[in-house]
Amino acid sequence: MSELASKQIVAQEKVAGPWKEAWRSFRKSKAALFGLAIVTFFIIIAFIGPLVAPFGMNDQVLSNRLQPPSAEHWFGTDDLGRDIFSRVLYGARISLTVGFSAVLLSAVMGSFLGIIAGYYGRWIDTIISRIFDIMLAFPSILLAIAVVSILGPSLQNALIAIAIINVPTFGRLIRSRVLMIKQEEYIVAARAIGMKNSRILWNHILPNSMTPVIVQGTLAIATAIIEAAALGFLGLGAVAPQAEWGKMLADARVYFINAPWAMVFPGISIMLTVIGFNLMGDGLRDALDPKMKN
Amino acid sequence: MSKVLLKVNNLKKYFPIRTGMFARVTGHVKAVDDVSFEVYEGETLGIVGESGCGKSTTGRTIMRLTEPTEGKIEFDGTDLTDLSNEDMRKIRREIQMVFQDPYASLNPRHTIEKILEEPLIVHGMGDGAERKKKVMEYLKIVGLSEYHAKRYPHQFSGGQRQRVGIARALMTNPKLIIADEPVSALDVSIQAQVLNLMKQLQEDLKLTYIFIAHDLGVVRHISDRVGVMYLGRMVELATSESLYDKPLHPYTQALLSAVPIPDPEFQGDQMLLTGDIPSPSNPPSGCTFHTRCPFATEECKQKAPNLREIKPGHSVACHLYNDQ
């Protein structure tokens, strides 16, 4: 009996913060956990891929061109006799790096602009919001192509282009969130206490606006990976001999009838990563912000 | 009488109504319209009225959470309306606020300790260890325990949260606390606890309260003087006993007669008001209450009455008492 009582006290003392509670509800969704597993798997590959790859990214053996999958070359070889399995492993690092950095960049820029527009309002809001509207008026891939055309085709410029086209999405999301939170009584209370605007913005409004950004960020990584692959496919992203998945698709396109494996494996990799991030994003959305579900 | 701590003179707060494509100002909502009163050190001034009568706006305008349109707010000899934003921010240390909704007024992502420590950090009071000590001290003062400090607001009941809200308001040792309906979101049984806590704190810490509420019983329990507001105006201001024993303004009389009396045999005369509260964007001419007042005369429709002291400590804004 006393043991039970002391157990209850311990349970009472345990503090469940907002993050722990979110994890608890995230754990309940099998799909979300599956997504998390895929994402973790690819992240691990991105880190250790080049170490475990049986061949180098650019080891060309021209006598071994377009070999079907075999014990030596699990995913077959491409038109230059390069091992596709190794290139897919290398590609994970490129795609995830582009996805994460582009989204991080656009989330930071978008959050900054969105917070300023939402909190200060008036003409600042008008200017920032109109710029977002203009950017959103273009189809995003077209805008990305335009940006890359200006900067010149390279993986880094593709990353910048993807970051830029995602800024308005984050900006609008944060702006509307800030408009909502600004009205909350704890923000009025913060002002009544005598807090400076900067402190209210960074300590109160920003942390409370972050949940939709995390959700949107996870989903945006999936889109960014596709966009990077698309730019690579169009010859506007990664340049040869980089083992970028989209670029690999583009290169293998010509031999598709004779050597489908050269296209199928990078394609499956793109698909799996994107599904992983989407499932995880959906799970996060349900866990962090049940109201966003529609 | 003790010293005047807060003096509000002809305070007005008009919210512009904007319509049309170019957001032209087409009118004003007169949320607070020419309100004057004084608050003495150590007393509790209750402000009552229906929802939308401007009582909360009055409280927020005193703290300049919304900027006053006109009027003077003199706190401890300083005119708050003249202060720069930065000076106003600093003086908020002396005037704190307790909010209506204890579920919304605490940041859900901060622990209680962080919430209580923040006012001290903001006003640069004490070092880390001193602040922690003070947080614990005030947690106990409002009837919570030290182990509550590490918890988040959602782990508390409404009454406990309101205790946290009160503790937060006390952290900087303010002179004046504006309590904006601090108990109206709580269960009746909890209301009494929180009210008694506030009374106790007032005695111990020599606080001055402006207590805003719509519940006449609650206001009577805690207030020394009570002001009644109707459509942005103060219609009656009197000591608590005087107001509840012999209300002068017809609106106050109607409000008091609407308070239920816990006696099934009681057959009193109820004074029922007809009609709705008029829109504050287009208030009636003259006395704003004349549309619903059973005693309204021609004069009431023409001329707005001023708040006048009819007998010691009892002021009313009504033409019925013109010859007194």
Helix (H, G, I), strand (E, B) or coil at B48: strand
pLDDT band at A132 (very low <50, low <70, confident <90, very high): very high
CA B259 to chain centre: 20
The answer, for A198 touching chain B at a CB cutoff of 8 Å, is: no
**What pLDDT does residue A7 have?**
47
Cα gap B50→B61, rounded to integer Å: 18
| B27 and B80 assigned to the same domain | yes
Rounded percentage of chain A residues whose pLDDT exceeds 90: 24
The answer, for A186 touching chain B at a CB cutoff of 8 Å, is: yes
**Residue A185 with chain B: CB contacts under 8 Å:** 99-101, 104-105
pLDDT band at A252 (very low <50, low <70, confident <90, very high): confident
The answer, for A137 touching chain B at a CB cutoff of 8 Å, is: no
Flag whether B217 is in a domain: no
| B47 and B77 assigned to the same domain | yes
**Residue B150 with chain A: CB contacts under 8 Å:** 15
Q: Which of B94, B58, B90, B110 is nearest to B170 (CA)?
A: B94
Q: Report how many domains make up chain B.
A: 2
Q: Which of A85, A99, A87 is nearest to A274 (CA)?
A: A99
For residue A116, give both structure tokens: 């300023």
- The pLDDT of residue B217 is above 70: yes
B241: domain CATH number is: 3.40.50.300
Q: Tell me what the pLDDT averaged over chain B comes to.
A: 86
| B60 and B150 assigned to the same domain | no
| B186 and B158 assigned to the same domain | yes
Taking CA–CA distances from A211, the nearest residue in chain B reads: B109
Flag whether B289 is in a domain: yes
Instruction: Report the amino acid identity of residue B300.
Output: C
- Superfamily covering domain A24-292: MetI-like (1.10.3720.10)
Q: Which of B90, B86, B56, B91 is nearest to B74 (CA)?
A: B91
| B17 and B69 assigned to the same domain | yes
CA B23 to chain centre: 32
**What pLDDT does residue B1 have?**
53
| B236 and B316 assigned to the same domain | yes
3-state secondary structure A88-120: HHHHHHHHHHHHHHHHHHHHHHHHHHHHHHHHH
Give the closest of A17, A186, A203 to B104, CB-based.
Answer: A186
**What pLDDT does residue A102 have?**
93
Contact assessment for residue B183 and residue B196, using Cβ atoms and an 8 Å cutoff? no
| B186 and B107 assigned to the same domain | yes
Boundary residue ending a domain (B138, B170, B205) = B205
Boundary residue ending a domain (B157, B176, B205) = B205
- The pLDDT of residue B261 is above 80: no
For residue A188, give both structure tokens: 């009025």
Flag whether B83 is in a domain: yes
Cross-chain residue pair A204–B107, CB shorter than 8 Å: yes
Flag whether B219 is in a domain: no
**What pLDDT does residue B4 have?**
87
How many Å lie between the alpha carbon of B92 and the closest alpha carbon of chain A?
5
Flag whether B218 is in a domain: no
Give the closest of B92, B96, B101 to A185, CB-based.
Answer: B101
* Prediction ipTM score: 0.81
- pLDDT tens, residue by residue, A151-175: 988 888 989 999 999 999 999 999 9
Contact assessment for residue B313 and residue B266, using Cβ atoms and an 8 Å cutoff? no
Domain boundaries, chain A: 24-292
**Residue B122 with chain A: CB contacts under 8 Å:** 193-196, 199
How many Å lie between the alpha carbon of A73 and the closest alpha carbon of chain B?
52
**What pLDDT does residue B211 have?**
92
The answer, for A17 touching chain B at a CB cutoff of 8 Å, is: yes
Could you tell me the residue range of the domain that residue B71 belongs to?
Answer: 1-92+224-324
**Residue A195 with chain B: CB contacts under 8 Å:** 89, 118, 122
Flag whether B46 is in a domain: yes
How many Å lie between the alpha carbon of A95 and the closest alpha carbon of chain B?
34
Using the 8-state DSSP alphabet, how is residue B89 labeled? H
Boundary residue ending a domain (B143, B170, B205) = B205
| B246 and B287 assigned to the same domain | yes
- pLDDT tens, residue by residue, B144-186: 888 888 888 888 888 888 889 989 998 988 999 999 988 888 8
**Residue A15 with chain B: CB contacts under 8 Å:** 111, 150-152, 155
**What pLDDT does residue A6 have?**
46
| B231 and B277 assigned to the same domain | yes
